[in-house]
Amino acid sequence: MIRNGHGHVLRWWNEIGERGRARLLQQLSSIDFDELDSLSRRYREGKPPVSLEGIEPADVISLPKTKGEISALERIRRIGEEAFRAGEVAAFLVAGGQATRLGIETPKGTFKITPIKKKTIFEHHAEKIRAISKRYGKPFPFYVMTSETNGEPTREFFERHRHFGLNPADVFFFKQDMMPALDLEGRLVLDAKDHIFASPNGHGGSISSLEKSGALADMKARGIKYLSYFQVDNVLIKIGDPIFIGYHIAKGAEMSVKVAPKRDPEEKVGVVCRLGDITTVIEYSDLPKEHKYALNKDGSLRFSAGNLAIHVLSVSFVERLNAEKHSLPFHIAEKAIPFLDDRGELVKPKQKNGLKFERFVFDALSHAQASAIVEVNRDEEFAPIKNADGEDSPETARDLMIRLYAKWLEGAGMQIPHNAGGRVKGLLEISPLFALDADELKRKLSPSFEVRLPLYLGP
């Protein structure tokens, strides 16, 4: 069962008792040593260069500019809305990650985020889902992928908060798989005398776990055809955007992606490109300088379609990937991994001492027979919370929320006080249950409404 070179995991065999031995054996029996060996080899030999022969920018559906383009959008919106009214759309949240950079011990979704009411990320997402379900008069099922590291706390959090008003029968939790890590010599790592360190296998693990968990079968039984995929940390996400779903359907797409122009050539974001007939995401580190800096005639970046990790996945696509046994590749990252020292005590190192392996959902894009690559306004749809402070932190996300609410209010004819730097002078919060978007807000507010900050608009 154990390969050469991994015998050290039995070091405390005589100490761990029957239960511990059973736990360790069970974990060992699920490990694919061939796969680990080949990943370790790939790390030692270095990643082979990605072939970019024939690389072209992706065919992006740009933001509408002309009147004609704006009115054409209405047709697309109607297509998406029809799918909602037919009950064919579900929300799919991947929330199995470990929030290492944010540095909290609880699931990231339990983080208090909204500017005034300090609602948690989960509550904010749940309010959007309730609002959408109400808008279309149909259940909007919510599938939540967690992992071994945060599955129970996530479920308990929802239960404790009565699913934030969602119908529990329409919320489906499932866990993704775990993947053991290796030390830099390619050996398994113990984080307890009877346990091998493992971490969630990446958001790309969702493709197989959707099937394994029964989520896919549940979707099919409910007549769900399209999944609005989002990540827990993007608090500006437009869950179930009918325009995005509309483009996906109109294009006969299997998987679609929202993109925004890269801010600068070195921005660390994957770029959606075309390689021959295949649309794919090229990681920042795989795009050579000549492409990173290549310009169009108008001076804009040629390879600029930054992946915002917002997708539509057709249920039939997820089904096909599983039926055809496509497993998405593992990406290798050097990370700090907790380990047992010689005395059997747990050490949490600061420096990188091992390798974690993750599958990325965007790798599924290259398997899609068709896709819609839709440009959006980044500031209106993308506010990820990755770090405790600085870039992509709770502070930047709150700031983006306030800016967006101010923009909606201004669109409804209200005056919002700004300081010299352009920041809103005070706090603003609009619950999705009050308005999901600028149009709804405009309809709800009378022109005589006066904004006084701080302002909370809720149900």
Nearest 5°: CA angle at 17, between 14 and 22?
A: 105
Residues 247-276, interacting with ligand UTP (CB under 6 A): none
Q: What number of residues does the chain have?
A: 459
Given a contact cutoff of 8 angstroms between Cβ atoms, the answer to whether 318 and 210 are in contact is yes
Structure tokens at 352: 């990188």
Angle between helices 67-85 and 121-136 (to 10 degrees): 90
Q: Does 219 bind ligand UTP (CB under 6 A)?
A: no
Q: Nearest distance from residue 223's CB to ligand UTP, in Å?
A: 26
Stretch that binds ligand UTP, among 35-43, 60-68, 198-206, 325-333 (CB under 6 A): 198-206
- Judged by CB under 6 A, the stretch of 46-54, 136-144, 200-208, 289-297 that binds ligand UTP is 200-208
* Residue (95 or 404) nearer to ligand UTP, CB: 95
Q: Choose which of 39, 90, 95, 436 interacts with ligand UTP (CB under 6 A).
A: 95
- By CB under 6 A, residue 232 contacts ligand UTP: yes
**Whether 361 contacts 328, CB under 8 Å:** yes
Q: Which residues from 112-141 bind ligand UTP, rule CB under 6 A?
A: none
Q: Residue 44's beta-bridge partner residues?
A: none
CA 44 to chain centre: 29
98 contributes a contact to ligand UTP by CB under 6 A: yes
CA gap 278, 281 in Å, rounded:
10
Chosen residue from 57, 151, 180, 200 binding ligand UTP by CB under 6 A: 200
Min. distance of Cβ 126 from ligand UTP in angstroms? 15
Q: Which is nearer to ligand UTP, 361 or 428 (CB)?
A: 361
Q: Residue 274 Cβ, how far from ligand UTP at the closest point, in Å? A: 25
Strands 89-94 and 142-146, how do they pair?
A: parallel
Interaxial angle between packed helices 242-250 and 67-85, expressed in degrees from 0 to 180 and rounded to the nearest 10: 90
Contact (CB, 8 A) for 55 and 189? no
Contact range with ligand UTP by CB under 6 A, out of 59-67, 77-85, 97-105, 288-296: 97-105
Q: Does 315 bind ligand UTP (CB under 6 A)?
A: no
Q: How far is CA 13 from the centre of its chain?
A: 39
Q: Quick check: 202 binds ligand UTP (CB under 6 A)?
A: yes
Minimum Å gap between C-beta 148 and ligand UTP is 10
Cα 452 vs. chain centroid, distance in angstroms?
35
DSSP state string for 25-62: HHHHHT--HHHHHHHHHHHHH-PPPPP-TTEEE--EEP
**Does residue 97 belong to the site contacting ligand UTP (CB under 6 A)?**
yes
Which residue, 202, 199, 222, is CA-closest to 143? 222
Instruction: Report the residue number whose CB is nearest to ligand UTP.
Output: 97
- Under rule CB under 6 A, which residues in 150-189 are in contact with ligand UTP? 176
Is residue 435 a contact point for ligand UTP (CB under 6 A)? no
Q: Does 356 bind ligand UTP (CB under 6 A)?
A: no
Q: Is 404 in the site for ligand UTP (CB under 6 A)?
A: no
Q: Which stretch binds ligand UTP (CB under 6 A): 51-59, 227-235, 239-247, 268-276?
A: 227-235
Nearer to ligand UTP, 147 or 213 (CB): 147
100 binds ligand UTP (CB under 6 A): yes
94 binds ligand UTP (CB under 6 A): yes
Sign of CA dihedral 36, 173, 132, 102: negative
> Distance between CA 426 and CA 423 in Å, rounded?
9
CA within 13 Å, CB half, 386: 6
Site residue total, ligand UTP (CB under 6 A): 22
Binding site for ligand UTP (CB under 6 A): 94-101, 108, 145, 147, 176, 200-203, 205, 231-233, 358, 386
